[in-house]
Structure 1
Amino acid sequence: MGQSQSNEGRRHATTEQLSHELASKFAKRCFTPLELYSFQDVFKSLADYQDNIAYLKEDTIARFLEIPDILGVSSVVFQMLSYLGAFPFGKDAPVVLGFEQMIMVVVIMTERYQRVLRKGNRDRTKLFFRSMAVYDRREPHNETEKADGGTEIDKQKLEDAGTTRSHAAGFAVDEPVSYEEEEEEDDDDLALAALESLDAIEVFQHGDAPISQASIPSDNLKKLIMLLLLIAPLGAQESLALHAERLSGEQLEGLRKTADNILAAFVNVEKFPGVKIHQFNTVISSSLPFLFNGFNPLFEHFLFSKNIDFTKRKDSTGAPVPPPLDPTAEQPLLAQTGEILDLNVLSQLSFFIPGNSLFRRLRLLYSGSDAGFSMGSFETKVFNWRAPTILLVSGSRIADPPIGGQERAFSDTLPPKRFPDSSKSSRVVFGVYLGQPWRQTHKDCFGDAETLLFQLEPVHEVFHASSINTDYVSYTKSPVPHPGIAFGSPHPKPKATSGLSPLVNLGAVSLMLDSSFEFGVFTHNYTSGGGAFHNSVTRRRDWQDRFEIESLEVWGCGGDAEAEQQRQRWAWEEKEAEARRRINIGKGDIEADRALLEMAGLIGGNRSGGSMS
């Protein structure tokens, strides 16, 4: 009976009461006492007041988080926060960002909601989409009516806080997406899980317009991507101002270019004005799973008050707790810049490879421009690295039909080109993440299901490995007919058993580099259904890029331990080579020398070994 009365009370609770209860629950279970105290202190120091109501304004938040003005993204971020502050009642957005609303914001931005909402099995993707979306003006809906009755005072507060209504009528989406959209459920898993944690699931009524009518303006998404590229390497309590050098000159232009490549994964900006929910969910889940990770350390700044002297704290032994480490004292994010890999591309890689394997952990093992474009120099530099590696290759697309003699010779080794180019852009950048050490292959490919084949420019996309087809990586030399490095293609057979076709056997989704590292080809045979790597999830068509290689780099993922292991391996090989050079040959005893060479298998049988005289 008592339970039924409780449920009846929940049924008549207002959204304001439920939001208050959820904020209290989040504060107690998602923050430590010190974090909550810090949050209260930070909020109090930043808040403006109207009618005794404390709230944060757009410029205040942007200044506190040190969001650079040059990105023009502060209004986009504030729109997101004004929606997230209304959680779990999106229909009430945008809201004034008071104390309780900012608790919602910080909990969601730092993913601490997982400590309470165990059934919120999906990530923040759909919630973030709604927070940035505008709706097709051809589908009007009533977004001004509030469940608890909005007032003119509320509207004035919103204006004073600099709020932009995230769900006002926006641009019209004139064309459907280029592929068939799947139906998306409107129910938000996180919102449902939040209300279920309050035993108030029956009061949930989604007030937002159908999500299929919503789109994120492309320009807004590009601004946000630029911010995410900038904050990707942030550490705990690290100031964003420390990365200001990335916002000037060539680095700023590179930041914009990298953001364009990532935006191209979501939408063709020349044809469509915005990004739909299916595109957003599909691209992030397949190619950008860690896109929003930088929000975690950025918004944790709200949980660290500069007014608290941490030097006075003591640990369990009574010793003083040292202050947080100065991030500037750490080694650089990237020890050296390559021709392909710079800080912007490094951040781009961290969107699908965990950042703790990348930032301050990459070493340039091989660069074709420095070591020479040959498989011999590649082996010398790369084969002894016993940790994961990242191969990057860039180039310019060759003409079709090819013009120069070398281009024609390369094209003659490939099957006739049946597919169009992937895009109008002449420059392409591809790469591979490989968890196993490199080696020469003779019969079978190497690699595992964690191997990633990806494109970084002009369209960002990750092609995941199949668990059935294991033709991941082959590294072959003569006597195979077409030696080189291939990813996603069947292992080439020796000349004696190569069959009837003299052409390279390209996989359905594959990257191949010839043995001289002059040319490469990336194939996406969508019709075939994929091979060792899965098809594109967005570009549902056949295409092929044949290109002249301009830069080729291999980066080792690891620290000092991996580098020392490589150094020891090099030292051992040098010692073995020196021992072979010291073999007593040519000292006058021809018969002894011949016997030694025969035991080594260098002469005898069908091997003449040349003249000993």
Structure 2
Amino acid sequence: MGQATSGLTGSSSQILESFTKSECKELFNARCVLLFRPIELQTIASKLNITNIKEKNIITTSDLAYLCQLSNDKNEDNSSVSPQFKCVLNLLYNSFQVIGKFPFIQDYEIGKMNGLSIEELLVACIFHSGRYKKIFNKEFDYVKLLFISLALGDSEEEPTPITKPEYIENVIPPGELEPYSLELHDPFLDDDPINVRTRKIKWDTFKLIDNFDDVDVESLSINAHSLLELITLFLIINSIPKMNHDKMYDQLNEGIRERWQEFENNALFLLRYFKLNITNQNVKTETINFIEFKHTIDNLLPKFFNEGFTMLFKYGFLSSLISQRSRKNSTSNKENEEEEEAPPETTKSKKSISAKFVETRLVNLPSLSLIGTILTNLGSNINISNKNLVKLYAGSESGFSIRSLESKIFKWQAPTLLIVSGKRLKNKTITSNMRYQQFKSEYPQFFRSSENSLKDWQTENDKITYGVLIYQPWRNSNKRNFGDEQSIIFSIQPRVDVYKSTHNAILKGESVYFNNLGLGLGFGNNQPVNKNGVKKFLPGEVSLTIEANLEFAVFRHVSTSSAHAVSYFQKSTQEQIELTDFEDRFMITDLEVWGVGSTKELEEQRKQWQWEEKQAEARQSVNLRSLGEERAFLEMVGLVGNHNANGGSV
């Protein structure tokens, strides 16, 4: 195989050998296959009902759907795959084919009619799972490869591979006869098997790897709707506990998949970070270019796609195979299985640390998956899920009162997640609502009255949702802020954005106040003024302010710093917004605070609440006969004794 040459470059010896395109591809594929464990290859073969991967040349979309748990059978018509998944399934199938051609990416256009081979699927898995780092010693641009694969593979037509061997054999890719030089660590020996030879190659030096086969990335784009469907799928996957193949399928297809539209709505909020002007109306015609794609990955979603694909592979077709009989009988035995599993769950619930997670209007599986995605990709050390959240306060249940809020959240000694949502204030409310006029007089105006404060991407009908992650316990802070540099403000609706805490040795991240003397809550503000009957807010450049009646809120983003301005939080990194001054003024419709903690923290908090409850009961059962003169006073006001049904008065 090939022809070896050698030469001296400086003081180092360079060993080169020439190969045809087919030989290069065969060696690279072999190198990728070597990165799989035998049990993983056996698992894939078992799920495809073959003894080894060499027996099946072409993977169909039905096979892929089954392997990725988007389907529970291998019907050729994908009848068990929901319509929502078919679009993203085609995108996955085509994009895997693009990566499977690596490093000869441009062969995709010719090779796509032949279908996705099992070796190409394995190559795609190597890149998406991060195992490619064992092949290359230097940095590899995975984001560019991902974009190229999604852009070239973006097609609404369902792949219809021609699987006739004679057709495949007659297709000669361009450049097949052109020799390619590969640098070797050590010379090939005549008796070297292919697994030894492929390890001797310095794949980093292959020019097509660096230049991605000269693909013109700047001319490519991804349809926004196709990317929306992929994001939706990954948000669904992120909402599912890491389980084996059978259970994860049940979660995907019997429960979560019925809520595709809810997840897609949240995916659209995330997509608007890629491109601000994307809406429900234009999402099918808008496109995302490489600059927009890479900017979003670098600044907002460094882990999102890699982890999504890893979940798809690791907990899909690389997971251990469970008995097929149990799956086939899953429908008929469903009632029996529920009866068998019910007692342990019931027992566990009795011993649970907190009440079972119940979704609310603001915190539900789709929104929780989005929030968790945002915080995880920001590097937060807190994993947000329905397993470690405790609802501390919900305005719709406890009333929109700052006293009620205080009584519910001040006992929690671990991080908290505050979510506030509402409707953008319309001109009619701004000019006629007296309570807002009072708040407006205390909150300094940024835009002149003659200016239109709404940007092109803001509308009067917007629903607005912001969140704040706070690590320190809440406390009254009428004189001094609290908090640390781990605090984060993030917007959810109508678009996702993040505002991380600014590192400042003087401010120290003390960006939060809870003022129960009539000035509400602030994040990113200086302490408000409350002196001599004068109340005044002092908002920071990037800040969220909630007034004391929990009725109005303002998020302010000022991009141009002034000499006296305060910056507790960093400005937006969204390319179209980072240099823009804007405000979101809204009337609050929902406000919730959730406690976040580990099992240990939740248990400690439960014990604390139990102790406080017992103390309260003990105080209520004080023997009033021992109160002496105080008892006489209580009798006088009708609180004890005298058997006065109508109470008393002072």
- After TM superposition, the structure 1 = structure 2 runs for residues 356-505 of structure 1, keeping only pairs within 5 Å, are 356-400=383-427, 401-418=430-447, 419-420=453-454, 423-424=458-459, 425-468=461-504, 469-479=507-517, 483-495=519-531, 502-505=535-538
Is the 1:84–1:105 Cα contact (8 Å) retained in structure 2?
yes
Shift of 1:390: 1.3
In the TM superposition, residue 305 of structure 1 has moved relative to its aligned partner by 5.2
Shift of 1:369: 1.1
Structure 2: stretches of 5+ with no match in the other structure? 71-80, 155-165, 174-198, 325-340, 350-354, 377-381, 448-452, 634-649
Q: How far apart in 1 are the matches of 2:208 and 2:599? A: 56
| Corresponding residue to 1:242 among 213, 237, 251 | 251
> For residues 135 and 357 of structure 1, what CA distance do their matches in structure 2 show?
33
Report the Cα distance in structure 2 between the residues aligned to 1:203 and 1:64, rounded to whole angstroms.
30
Quote the offset at 1:586 in angstroms.
9.7
| Residue 197 (structure 1) shift | 4.7
SS in 2 for 1:402: helix
Distance 2:69 2:256 in 1: 14
Q: CA deviation at 1:405?
A: 1.6
Q: 1:552-591 CA deviation, whole Å, 9 max, x = no partner?
A: 111222354323222222344456667878699994579x
Asked if 1:38 corresponds to 2:43, the answer is: yes
- Measured at CA, do residues 21 and 258 of structure 1 come closer, stay the same or move farther in structure 2, by a change above 3 Å? same
Deviations 1:30-54, CA, capped at 9 Å, x for gaps: 43332233234445649999xx871
> Which runs of structure 2 are paired with 1:103-502 in the superposition (5 Å)?
103-117=122-136, 119-120=138-139, 124-134=142-152, 153=168, 197-198=202-203, 200-202=205-207, 204=209, 205-234=211-240, 235-238=242-245, 239-244=248-253, 245-248=255-258, 251-267=259-275, 268-269=277-278, 273-292=286-305, 293-300=307-314, 301-304=316-319, 306=321, 335-354=357-376, 356-400=383-427, 401-418=430-447, 419-420=453-454, 423-424=458-459, 425-468=461-504, 469-479=507-517, 483-495=519-531, 502=535
Give the deviation of 1:486 after TM superposition. 0.9
Q: Deviations over 1:499-537 (max 9, x none)?
A: xx8531111111111122111111111222882111112
What do the CA deviations read for 1:199-249 (whole angstroms, capped 9, x no partner)?
53356554343322221111111111221122113414342342333333x
SS at match of 1:275: strand
Residue-by-residue CA offset, 1:432-484 (whole Å, 9 max, x unaligned): 122222222244322222222111111111112211254554233355xx521
Question: In structure 1, the residue corresponding to 2:16 is in which secondary structure?
Answer: helix
How far, CA to CA, are the matches of 2:420 and 2:51 in structure 1? 47
Work out the CA distance in 2 between the residues paired with 1:154 and 1:536.
Answer: 53
- Residues 195 and 397 (structure 1), Cα distance of their counterparts in 2 relative to 1, 3 Å cut: farther
SS for the counterpart of 1:80 is: helix
Q: In angstroms, what is the RMSD of aligned CA positions?
A: 4.1
1:420 counterpart letter in structure 2: L
What pairs up with 1:80-99 in 2 under 5 angstroms? Answer: 80-93=95-108, 95=111, 96-99=115-118
Residue aligning to 1:550:
589
- Indicate how the Cα distance of structure 1 residues 466 and 199 shifts in structure 2: closer, same or farther if over 3 A, else same: closer
| Distance in 2, Cα, partners of 1:397 & 1:519 | 10
Match of 1:9 in 2: 16
| Counterpart contact for 2:103–2:213, Cα < 8 Å | no
1:570 and 2:609 equivalent? yes
> May I ask how many residue pairs the two structures share in their alignment?
518
**Residues of 2 paired with 1:403 and 1:359: CA distance?**
41
- SS state at 2:263 partner: helix
Alpha-carbon contact 2:417-2:594 (below 8 Å) kept:
yes
Contact 1:20 1:100 (C-alpha < 8 Å) held by counterparts: no
Q: How far apart, CA to CA, are the structure 2 residues paired with 1:282 and 1:199?
A: 26
| TM-score for the superposition, normalised by structure 2 | 0.70
Contact 1:386 1:565 in 2 (8 A): no
Q: Does structure 2 conserve the Cα–Cα contact (< 8 Å) formed by 1:231 and 1:295? A: no
Query: Hey, what's the Cα distance between the residues in 1 that align with 2:269 and 2:475?
Result: 32
Q: Tell me, yes or no, if the aligned pair for 2:542 and 2:571 is still in contact at 8 Å.
A: yes
Percent identity of the aligned residues?
26
